[in-house]
Amino acid sequence: MNNFRYHAYTDIRFGKGQVKCLTELVAPYGKNVLMVYGGGSIKKNGLYQQVKELLSDFNVYELPGVEPNPKIESVRTGVALCKDKNIDVVLAVGGGSTIDAAKVIAGGATYDGDPWDLVTDNKKIGKVLPIVTILTLAATGSEMNKNAVISNMETNEKLGTSSHDFIPQASICDPEYLYSLPAVQTAAGTADIMSHIFEQYFQKETGAYITDRYSESVLKTCIKYCPIALKEPDNYEARANLMWASTQALNSILSCGKGGAWTCHPIEHELSAYYDITHGVGLAIVTPRWMRYILSDATVDRFCEYGKNVWDITAEDKYECANMAIDATEKFFKDCGIPMTLTEIGIDDSKIDIMAEDTIKYNAMDRAYVALDKEDVKKILMACL
Amino acid sequence: MNNFRYHAYTDIRFGKGQVKCLTELVAPYGKNVLMVYGGGSIKKNGLYQQVKELLSDFNVYELPGVEPNPKIESVRTGVALCKDKNIDVVLAVGGGSTIDAAKVIAGGATYDGDPWDLVTDNKKIGKVLPIVTILTLAATGSEMNKNAVISNMETNEKLGTSSHDFIPQASICDPEYLYSLPAVQTAAGTADIMSHIFEQYFQKETGAYITDRYSESVLKTCIKYCPIALKEPDNYEARANLMWASTQALNSILSCGKGGAWTCHPIEHELSAYYDITHGVGLAIVTPRWMRYILSDATVDRFCEYGKNVWDITAEDKYECANMAIDATEKFFKDCGIPMTLTEIGIDDSKIDIMAEDTIKYNAMDRAYVALDKEDVKKILMACL
């Protein structure tokens, strides 16, 4: 087990009606609040109005319209508002995109240059305004972690950045907000959660037994409850388990004692950077192809362990067991209604070369579970067509 | 899944040599440090000297000699030191007993009356000095939670208290400190960890699927690694997994979405209050008897789930499966070398009546997984003789 730091200090308020805690969670930081949100679904479901009422004693400024795969332009607008209105605390109401944008806004508020600098070089992140979130989508885990991913469509870059101070001070997680999600978002969100787990579970370090069992627990939760949530969108138990799974999958608990770099996320980030596709859909397409590509004598035991502990596969032959596990993973995504080829979502082979090149350029793919070079990434992407 | 708050804000530094972080972890709180520790094993293994060197720029005052089942007298001495020396931060170096004492000392430092008041009535806990810990035993989880248990041998009371502000600001967890533990402490510590999990796992709420799978993960970790640590005291992987298991078992992650009161801990606290026995030994003795006592049509499914998921029991008959799981639990403790009857540790039936009465008096046993009255507790204790 590798040495690690675990410091996920977010004050989580989980469950029905927890928005009632909002006032007490925001109050310690000041009166000037920047409320960041997305496309307006919170106006339809009444959450917008509720937040405004709960914060009626505060000065609430608004940044609406944060996009999926949030764009640096929105961040720049938010930073300008922070500086202009002397903002004390940034409140993100939405999913991972909104929260990620809020993080870079909170860092940009005290930075003199262009906030894109904080995305390309996280050493430039200084003081960060406190962040509070109300989560409305189960996917990225951004509500309890230090990460943010921002896109710059001018340069076709979708890059991750992070700071310990990006971890939200508090997050309200009410599973009932998930009831109204379109099926595709429930499915893509679950694919994102599962990919976060795979990126940490498939690593060279094998002595972190407790962490691996946790990872399998969260995977089993996704596999059990995503189909239920798709059939019964207002099944509370399903939504609650998926919502907590999304937080657990990427609050660093599943990497305790483990190391190494990620694989499918870097590859998918290039798909989103060039085609602005739904992140979870891209991950679902890439994941089983990546698994098959790296299956070898060096990895078969791990895939077999995955098959036995997550999918209850009992095949004696190791390769049979591993392949059954990979097939089960692909079939699961397909059964959840996710398009499972790039062709289906309108992507051909024309940019595979540049996407593979950028994957290697921006990420430490040599430190991944199985090190990949540009040719490897190209082959994986070709298999996704 | 019940609503919950999860806010385990401790900054954990886990692994070999992490004591090097001590200076940076203590520095934010001030110069006057009260160092609380136990029986002197830290002087033998060099940790005492290391701490003093790392804190050479601080004013370090000392409270040595904190007992297993820490006594209120030690707490009173510590509180007096805090007030006299204007202490800024309490540093606990030891196991759960030392950390528990440090917590009530940190609360007592700002309280005008007798610190025993803070044990009998946690509403009297006001401001708490910041607490930093260096953990040397894997058992209580006190390094990342809000609980403290203090004994008053004059009144034969061993009582728990808690405050959100008792959660340590930072904890250094180096598994190498466990190498020199006597076998009985390794075994008793593991029994304590497993009991913490049982108290949360066996609850009426069944919708917290992800939490239950986590609980099973930590139980499997204990079952796998305790025997290894007993055979090879310096097996790092075993010690590391057990140490992280102890923190996970009681930092509230395993009660997320679940509710209800505890059973075996309240009963064992009376054994320790009257006989000052090792907490983990008492728990190991009580646990299988409690399990058998409450096995019924209402609980058999849960015990069977425990058997299948933790012990890989495949028996078709539910009661057979449940009984095999309980037998496996008892055998596990026995194989770890724990004396498994009260008679073996010198306890007869003379105080069973008063211990049962006190169990009911001090605890909400009516809200436990299976509600117990005084007669039930007596019967369980009689079965332990």
Cβ contacts of B196 within 8 Å, gap of 6 or more: B141, B249, B250, B254
Which B-chain residues 239-258 have CB contacts (< 8 A) with chain A?
240-241, 244-245, 248, 253, 256-257
- Chain B: nearest CA to A81, how far in angstroms? 30
Residue B73: the pLDDT is: 97
Q: Once rounded to an integer, what is the mean pLDDT over residues B92-119?
A: 97
Tell whether B308 lies on the interface with A, counting CB pairs under 8 A: no
Residues A295, A304 contacting (CB under 8 angstroms): no
- Please report, in tens digits, the pLDDT of each residue of chain A (385 residues total): 999 999 999 999 999 999 999 999 999 999 999 999 998 889 998 999 999 999 999 999 999 999 988 999 999 999 999 999 999 999 999 999 999 999 999 999 999 999 999 999 999 999 999 999 999 998 999 999 999 999 998 998 889 999 999 999 999 999 999 999 999 999 999 999 999 999 999 999 889 999 999 999 999 999 999 999 999 999 999 999 999 999 999 999 999 999 889 999 999 999 999 998 999 999 999 999 999 999 999 999 999 999 999 999 999 999 999 999 999 999 999 999 999 999 999 999 999 999 999 999 999 999 999 999 999 999 999 999 9
Q: Once rounded to an integer, what is the mean pLDDT over residues B139-155?
A: 94
Residue A40: the pLDDT is: 81
Burial group, residue B256, by CB count within 10 angstroms (0-12, 13-18, 19+)? buried
Q: Could you tell me the two tokens for B255?
A: 């009660």
pLDDT bucket at B355, cuts 50 / 70 / 90: very high
Residue B206 has pLDDT above 90, yes or no: no
Residues A113, A76 contacting (CB under 8 angstroms): no
Q: Which amino acid is at A349?
A: D
Share of chain B above pLDDT 90, in %: 95
The ipTM value here is 0.96
Nearest to B6 among A12, A207, A209 (CB): A12
Q: Which residue has the tokens 């627990």?
A: A217
A4–B210 C-beta distance less than 8 A: no
Alpha-carbon torsion, ordered B48, B51, B52, B53, to 10 deg: 120
A11–B5 C-beta distance less than 8 A: yes
**Domains of chain B, earliest start first:** 11-177 (3.40.50.1970), 182-383 (1.20.1090.10)
Tell whether B227 lies on the interface with A, counting CB pairs under 8 A: no
Q: Once rounded to an integer, what is the mean pLDDT over residues B26-43?
A: 95
Helices B300-311 and B209-231 meet at what angle, rounded to 10? 50
Residues A242, A135 contacting (CB under 8 angstroms): no
Q: How many CB pairs under 8 A join A and B?
A: 119
State whether residue B184 is helix, strand or coil.
helix
Query: How would you classify residue B69: left for phi > 0, otherwise alpha for psi between -120 and 50, otherwise beta?
Result: left
Chain B: residue nearest A245 by CA?
A: B210
